[in-house]
Amino acid sequence: MAVGTTVISDGASLAPFKSMTQIHPPEVGGWNVRLVGLDADRSVA
């Protein structure tokens, strides 16, 4: 793929490209994150 005479990608990978949400992330209301630690026995630490 090229833009004018500048090659952007040879098509072997999608790595050079970003999705629209990576370029402009949408706001998400009411988002919560909970971190839970587990020990070796998979019990809540």
Domain-wise residue ranges, the chain: 1-45
Measured distance CA(29)–CA(45) in Å, rounded: 30
> What mean pLDDT is predicted for residues 2-18?
85
- What is the torsional sign of CA 22, 24, 29, 33? positive
Mind listing the pLDDT tens digit for each residue in 16-40? 788 989 999 899 899 888 888 888 8
> What mean pLDDT is predicted for residues 1-11?
86
User: Considering the entire predicted model, what is its pTM?
Assistant: 0.36
